[in-house]
């Protein structure tokens, strides 16, 4: 629940940066109440970007779909070491561990 508050706060405090991606919603608050604050609702890229920007960390996301795979580093405009790797299959993230 704490991460949901962090993500919602980040999006609200930098709403001008996130608003262009929220065209399906009436407002930033509408997006937060429908996509961030809801329990048992999956996080999407926008929430991951907000979380990594707030924590000032970088993560690697390996996105796998039926026909393709791509590697993303979030946030894209950050520098520094990557602190975690995630596998993203549409609708689900898994943390990848190194052995």
Domains annotated for the chain, with CATH where assigned, are 2-96 (3.90.70.80)
> Taking a C-beta distance cutoff of 8 angstroms, is the pair 70, 45 a contact?
no
Q: Which of 34, 43, 30, 57 is closest to 3 using CA atoms?
A: 43
**Which residue is listed with tokens 């930033």?**
28
The DSSP code for 90 is: T
Q: What is the pLDDT along the chain (99 residues), one digit of tens a residue?
A: 889 999 999 999 999 999 999 999 999 999 999 999 998 888 888 999 999 999 999 999 999 988 999 999 988 888 778 899 999 988 788 999 877
35 by Cβ neighbours in 10 Å (0-12 / 13-18 / 19+) ranks as: buried
Q: Write down the pTM of the prediction.
A: 0.83
> Taking a C-beta distance cutoff of 8 angstroms, is the pair 73, 98 a contact?
no
């Amino acid at each position: 629940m704490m991460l949901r508050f962090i993500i919602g706060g980040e999006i609200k405090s930098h709403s001008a940066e996130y608003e262009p991606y929220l065209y399906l919603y009436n407002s930033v608050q509408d997006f937060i109440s429908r996509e961030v604050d809801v329990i048992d609702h999956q996080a999407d890229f926008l929430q991951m970007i907000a979380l990594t920007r707030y924590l000032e960390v970088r993560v690697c996301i390996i996105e796998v779909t039926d026909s393709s795979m791509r590697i993303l580093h979030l946030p894209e405009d950050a520098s520094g070491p990557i602190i975690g790797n995630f596998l993203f299959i549409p609708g689900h993230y898994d943390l990848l561990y190194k052995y």
